[in-house]
Amino acid sequence: MSRLVVQHPALADDAVRAIAEAAGAPPAERRPALARWEQVALDGERVSSLAEAWAVDAELVRPGMRLADFRLAAFDMDSTLITIECVDEIADYVGRKAEVAAITEAAMRGEIADYDESLRRRVALLAGLPEATLERVWDERVRLSPGADSLVAALRAAGLRTLLVSGGFTFFTDRLRARLGLDASRSNLLEVEGGRLTGRLIGPIVNAEAKQRIVEQTCAQIGCTPAQAIVVGDGANDLRMMSIAGLSVAFHAKPIVRDETTHAINHCGLDAILNFFDPA
């Protein structure tokens, strides 16, 4: 028997009643954005069908699971901890956002086999932009995803290490790490010469394989196994690091990601992940 957690920022009574009928019992807990059943006999396929029918987040979780059971939480950045894709927004300043965004979207859906080449193509289109453009994107366009602050604070309070591992750029990950108080970050370095972007990257690209390796290395450094890691992401290049995690969450993610993770959040903010766990 599994615990059933149903969530939505404005969880409708009609949805709760319909799911209660399918579960054969009323929820043990009901809050404005949450309904929880302690034990249900529903399988994952039935729960997914109910979630889609009522446009809610509905997940079967292991009873008794605590945040303290985990040692590491690793996050993607773009469209996960923040609401935008930074490379797309930078490209907007040279009038190439639509072109770059189309490549980004295809890469996140897993439709581009060579992620490294797709990133190089996008970065090449940024050549000549003043480095100050990055600051403008940070100040004017970067916004935290709803619930990011609350989730990271709760993870840190429970004693987890926090890692930001991104195919984006160090300019943004360094600032986001400081903004949220994350323990570590890894990402790609844009080359700058004479105060302008060259359209090239410095060093190896943080791709799907690198993300997995970084999570594994971080686990080894803090003395835990990947089974004690929580990994949150949204795109195909997150799947490798998600595949080794004890708990993986697809956050407002592409279908290929939702299909291959242990849990998904499609409607709520990041802090909805906290409701998968028992209170401390």
Tell me the catalytic residues: 76, 78
Residue entry with tokens 């190089």: 120
Q: What is the 3-state secondary structure (H, E, C) of the chain?
A: CEEEEEECCCCCHHHHHHHHHHHCCCCCEEECCEEEEEEECCCHHHHHHHHHHHCCEEEEECCCCEHHHCCEEEECHHHHHECCCHHHHHHHCCCCHHHHHHHHHHHHCCCCCCHHHHHHHHHHCCCCCECHHHHHHHHHCCCECCCHHHHHHHHHHCCCEEEEEEEEEHHHHHHHHHHHCCCEEEEEEEEEECCEEEEEEECCCCCHHHHHHHHHHHHHHHCCCHHHEEEEECCHHHHHHHHCCCEEEEECCCHHHHCCCCEEECCCCHHHHHHHCECC
CA gap 40, 56 in Å, rounded: 17
Q: How many CA atoms lie within 13 A of 223 on its CB side?
A: 0
Taking residue 29's Cβ as centre, other Cβ atoms within 10 Å add up to 11
Query: Contact 154/274 with Cβ under 8 angstroms?
Result: yes
**CA dist., res. 193 & res. 62, Å (int):** 52
